[in-house]
């Protein structure tokens, strides 16, 4: 008898009758993944609202007598008059190292069939970007492994560097190669037991792409052993515009976790043109007034608040952003390209003409720039690449000019010779990043005239031969180059000896 009483008392003690304040309303109208809601007087901007059947909406338009929201998930079961509840929570996504090696959707839910995520932490999708005081200037490199970029358009951790060009000019390839190169560097540092090494984790956000393209990217990363250092956020073309709009912010939240926890991360937004289109679609359905090219007035803010979240924080880590923009017929003066160019710290401009001439990666030297990265460039690269950009830009001008005349003076001819060899040297197949120390060695050889006697057509083969020779036969020299990251007299002498020896082994 007494035990029964005790049990009842315990049950009563456990009972809590906290009042839960909930705001409920109804769907007034629903179409195209967007719903107008009645009766939600207390809802916050960007708050998640709950529909019957598990679909989630985000409140985007707070008006006097209705709330406009985009719906994430299955809308087919929802109808006019359905009840909707506020949740009191801003939209957030899972973050942490447990996401590495995984493919998730815009809400951070795994879509790769590898089971639940191993993480408990959540970060809000929208966050105010770090202010001026907590930021630190860029001084550590992000090595892409692409010679033309590392030597002439260097990127630093915390920087925002735009990759821009027409369709099929190799934009995605540059981003993927950069991710692959990080995996290579991470693994090498792990093997050497370097205590000061700061790994760079990657987040690849695919927006509005075909599923087959995303699958190919994942396969390329997996084949290169880079997937384990990478999070993939996928909002494919078949996904509703709300997910495509959200995906970059979700990716940014995942990147911020690394930055806030003293680590470094790299985020690729592939691409923001499609992101803008998804946002335009949502805005038009929400009946927001449209402006230039039918984009809503806040499309600039859409991208600036996203890209401002990339930073290097004092005493913490960094988030580097590589947004991608697709142009039409090379037109960089269209609305979205000019917006993003003005928000970023520089751009890597890829040209269709160069790509079709076989100059790949098709980096336009004249139009590409990195405004902050040079302070992050390693000394050895500065030593061998300092003059390259000028030489190449001059070469392009001279080459265009020289087409019309035949008798050139000796100096012009020498410049053309040098330029055409540098162009060859910078050709690099996709998926083949080159370590920064090998880059420095090859550029040193170029600077010291080792390629001059070689026919222009054969320079690429010669450079590959030299790279092989150095990485297999001169490992000590290459190791020293990597650890010192600067070329002093002793190293220059060693490089000379090595290159002299190589010259005798290479027959063009």
> Two tokens at 450?
């080792």
Q: Which residues would be at the binding site for ligand ADP (CB under 6 A)?
A: 165, 167-173, 360-361, 428-430
Number of residues near Mg ion (by CB under 5 A): 1
Q: Beta strand pairing status for 318-326 and 264-270? A: parallel
Look at residue 361 and give the partner it binds from ligand ADP, Mg ion, none, a contact being a CB closer than 5 to 8 Å depending on partner kind: ligand ADP
Look at residue 96 and give the partner it binds from ligand ADP, Mg ion, none, a contact being a CB closer than 5 to 8 Å depending on partner kind: none
Q: At its nearest, how many Å lie between ligand ADP and the CB of residue 220?
A: 9
Q: Are 37 and 27 in contact (CB under 8 A)?
A: yes
> Of 61, 86, 159, 172, which lies in the binding site for Mg ion, with binding defined by CB under 5 A?
172
Of the pair 52, 168, the CB lying nearest ligand ADP is at 168
Of the pair 213, 383, the CB lying nearest ligand ADP is at 213
Q: At its nearest, how many Å lie between Mg ion and the CB of residue 177?
A: 13
> Two tokens at 498?
């090595």
> Two tokens at 24?
């409920």
Please report whether residue 173 would count as binding Mg ion according to CB under 5 A: no
* CA gap 402, 384 in Å, rounded: 27
371 catalytic per annotation:
yes
Question: Around 316, how many Cα atoms within 13 Å sit in the side-chain half-sphere?
Answer: 18
With contacts defined by CB under 5 A, name the span among 92-100, 168-176, 183-191, 480-488 that binds Mg ion: 168-176
Look at residue 167 and give the partner it binds from Mg ion, ligand ADP, none, a contact being a CB closer than 5 to 8 Å depending on partner kind: ligand ADP
Q: At its nearest, how many Å lie between ligand ADP and the CB of residue 361?
A: 5
Of the pair 172, 320, the CB lying nearest Mg ion is at 172
State the DSSP code for 128. Answer: P
Q: At its nearest, how many Å lie between ligand ADP and the CB of residue 432?
A: 8
Of the pair 92, 169, the CB lying nearest ligand ADP is at 169
Of the pair 144, 173, the CB lying nearest ligand ADP is at 173
Q: At its nearest, how many Å lie between ligand ADP and the CB of residue 360?
A: 4
Cis amide leading into 295 (omega within 30):
no
Please report whether residue 169 would count as binding Mg ion according to CB under 5 A: no
* CA gap 254, 42 in Å, rounded: 29
Of the pair 149, 299, the CB lying nearest ligand ADP is at 149
Nearest to 91 by CA among 47, 121, 49, 37: 47
Q: Which residues contact 402 (CB under 8 A, 6 or more apart)?
A: 408, 412, 416
Please report whether residue 273 would count as binding Mg ion according to CB under 5 A: no
Look at residue 312 and give the partner it binds from Mg ion, ligand ADP, none, a contact being a CB closer than 5 to 8 Å depending on partner kind: none
> Two tokens at 87?
């949740």
Nearest to 55 by CA among 20, 79, 38: 79
* CA gap 278, 302 in Å, rounded: 11
Report in angstroms the alpha-carbon separations of 5 from 9, 10, 11, 14, 368. 6, 9, 10, 14, 80
Please report whether residue 327 would count as binding Mg ion according to CB under 5 A: no
CA 172 to chain centre: 9
Which of 89, 187, 288, 371 does the annotation list as catalytic? 371
Q: At its nearest, how many Å lie between ligand ADP and the CB of residue 16?
A: 56
> To 10 degrees, the CA torsion angle through 170, 171, 176, 179?
130
Q: At its nearest, how many Å lie between Mg ion and the CB of residue 349?
A: 15
Look at residue 430 and give the partner it binds from ligand ADP, Mg ion, none, a contact being a CB closer than 5 to 8 Å depending on partner kind: ligand ADP
Q: Which residues contact 36 (CB under 8 A, 6 or more apart)?
A: 27, 28, 29, 30, 66, 67, 68
Q: Which residues are catalytic?
A: 371
Binding site for Mg ion (CB under 5 A): 172
């Amino acid at each position: 008898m007494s035990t029964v009483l005790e049990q009842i008392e315990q049950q009563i003690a456990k009972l809590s009758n906290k009042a839960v304040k909930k705001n409920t309303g109804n769907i007034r109208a629903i179409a195209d993944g967007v719903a107008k809601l009645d009766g939600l007087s207390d809802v916050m901007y960007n708050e998640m609202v709950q529909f019957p059947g598990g679909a989630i909406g985000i409140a985007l338009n707070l008006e006097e007598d209705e709330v406009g929201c985009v719906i994430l998930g299955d809308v087919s079961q929802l109808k006019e008059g359905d009840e909707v509840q506020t949740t009191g929570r801003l939209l957030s996504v899972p973050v942490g190292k447990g996401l590495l090696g995984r493919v998730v959707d815009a809400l951070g839910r795994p879509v790769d069939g590898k089971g639940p995520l191993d993480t408990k932490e959540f970060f809000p999708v929208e966050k105010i970007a770090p202010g001026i005081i907590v930021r630190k200037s860029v001084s550590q490199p992000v090595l892409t492994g692409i010679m033309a970029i590392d030597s002439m358009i260097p990127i630093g951790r915390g920087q925002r560097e735009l990759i821009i060009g027409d369709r099929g000019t190799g934009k995605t390839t540059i981003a993927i190669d950069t991710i692959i190169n990080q995996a290579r560097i991470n693994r090498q540092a792990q093997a050497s037991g370097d205590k000061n090494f700061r790994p760079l984790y990657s987040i690849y956000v695919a927006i509005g792409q075909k599923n087959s393209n995303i699958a190919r990217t994942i396969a390329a990363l997996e084949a290169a052993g880079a997937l384990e250092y990478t999070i993939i956020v996928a909002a494919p073309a078949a996904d509703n515009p709300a997910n495509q709009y959200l995906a970059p912010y979700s990716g940014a939240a995942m990147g911020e976790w690394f930055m806030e926890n003293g680590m470094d991360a790299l985020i690729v937004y592939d691409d923001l043109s499609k992101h803008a289109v998804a946002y335009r679609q949502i805005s038009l359905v929400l009946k927001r007034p449209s402006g230039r090219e039918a984009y809503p007035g806040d499309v600039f803010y859409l991208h600036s608040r996203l890209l401002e979240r990339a930073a290097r924080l004092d005493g913490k880590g960094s988030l580097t952003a590589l947004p991608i923009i697709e142009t039409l017929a090379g037109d960089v003066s269209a609305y979205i390209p000019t917006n993003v160019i003005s928000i970023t710290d520089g751009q890597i401009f890829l040209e269709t003409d160069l790509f079709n001439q076989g100059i790949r990666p098709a980096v336009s030297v004249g139009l590409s720039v990195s405004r902050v990265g040079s302070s992050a460039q390693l000394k050895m690269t500065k030593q061998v690449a300092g003059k390259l950009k000028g030489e190449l830009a001059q070469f392009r001008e001279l080459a265009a000019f020289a087409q019309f005349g035949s008798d050139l003076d000796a100096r012009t001819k020498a410049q053309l010779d040098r330029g055409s060899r540098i162009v060859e040297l910078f050709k690099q197949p996709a998926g083949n990043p080159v370590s920064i120390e090998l880059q420095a060695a090859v550029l040193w050889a170029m600077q010291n005239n080792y390629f001059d006697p070689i026919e222009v057509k054969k320079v690429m083969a010669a450079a590959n031969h030299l790279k092989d020779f150095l990485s297999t036969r001169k490992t000590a020299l290459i190791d020293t180059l990597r650890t010192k990251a600067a070329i002093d007299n002793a190293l220059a002498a060693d490089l000379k000896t090595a290159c002299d020896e190589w010259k005798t082994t290479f027959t063009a």
